[in-house]
């Protein structure tokens, strides 16, 4: 395996303004003071590789960091007429770059009584506002035409979110179940008889822009 070792990578031509918003031939693609020496290496097509510290360079679409949590096998009952946080499915996450976007993924084994909905929250607020008639903010709405807690299914939801900050935000998975204006049990990790114990998972990925 070969190794390239160098002190600097520079654009052709005048580089006097790199780091202050661009350089000759690249000035329309400046990053507001972040150029060579500020965390970016510019390519021929004016895209860039982004690096924060030694050994960290990210191309657009690459995963920068991930976080994962899985619940215990304890049954939880989210009993509410609106999206309510599911216990143990919470992650405090801070992006490394303010322009990154997040991929949110969750797997929830649940009873799914009548109309069951799941979604994501950021610092307590719904990430999506879909004006769903059953539960505003849901990512996934599921219907089963009976009123029993005896069945289980696995619900998989995903979402895309732009936090716009490098500050820590608490992300949660939320759920609810209802029918004809009445609240229903929304058991997760198990069913009503408490004999089908499973575990829920929640994953967050920061993706480079």
pLDDT per residue over 131-157, tens digit each? 555 566 667 777 666 666 667 788 899
- In 3D space, the residue among 108, 112, 111, 62 whose CA is nearest the CA of residue 85 turns out to be 108
Tokens of 205: 């990925």
Contacts of 107 (CB under 8 A, 6+ apart): 154, 155, 156, 200, 201
Q: Do 195 and 137 lie in a common domain? A: yes
Asked whether residue 82 falls in the same domain as residue 142, the answer is: yes
Q: Do 31 and 90 fall within a single domain?
A: no
d(CA 101, CA 82): 26
Is 69's pLDDT higher than 80? Answer: yes
Residues 100 and 38 in one domain: no
| Same domain flag for 50 and 97 | no
User: Percent of the chain at pLDDT above 90?
Assistant: 32
pLDDT of residue 22: 40
> For residue range 100-115, what is the model confidence (pLDDT) as tens digits?
999 999 999 888 667 8
Q: Which of 35-39, 71-75, 184-188, 203-207 has the lowest mean pLDDT?
A: 35-39
72 and 51 assigned to the same domain: no
Q: Pick 187 or 150 by higher pLDDT.
A: 187
Angle at 60 between CA 56 and CA 66, to 5 degrees: 60
* CB 81, CB 176: distance < 8 Å: yes
Are 25 and 106 found together in one domain?
no
Q: The pTM is what? A: 0.73
CA end-to-end span of the chain: 30
Q: What's the domain range around 24?
A: 1-58
Structural domain total, the chain: 2
What percent of the chain lies above the pLDDT cut of 70? 64
């Amino acid at each position: 395996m070969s190794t390239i070792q160098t002190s600097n990578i520079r654009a052709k031509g005048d580089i006097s303004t790199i780091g202050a918003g661009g350089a000759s031939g690249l000035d329309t693609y400046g990053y507001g003071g972040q150029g060579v020496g500020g965390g970016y290496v510019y390519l021929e097509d004016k895209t860039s590789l982004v690096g924060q510290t030694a050994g960290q360079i990210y191309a657009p679409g690459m995963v920068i960091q991930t976080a994962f949590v899985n619940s215990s096998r304890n049954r939880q009952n989210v009993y509410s007429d609106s999206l309510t946080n599911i216990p143990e499915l919470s992650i405090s996450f801070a992006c490394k770059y303010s322009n990154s976007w997040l991929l949110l993924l969750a797997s929830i084994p649940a009873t799914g009584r009548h109309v069951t909905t799941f979604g994501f929250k950021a610092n307590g607020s719904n990430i999506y506002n879909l004006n769903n008639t059953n539960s505003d903010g849901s990512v996934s709405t599921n219907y089963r035409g009976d009123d029993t807690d005896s069945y289980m299914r696995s619900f998989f939801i995903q979402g895309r979110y732009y936090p716009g900050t490098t500050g820590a935000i608490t992300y949660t998975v939320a759920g609810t179940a209802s029918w004809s204006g009445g609240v229903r049990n929304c058991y997760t990790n198990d069913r009503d008889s408490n004999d089908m114990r499973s575990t829920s998972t929640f994953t967050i990925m920061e993706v480079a822009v």
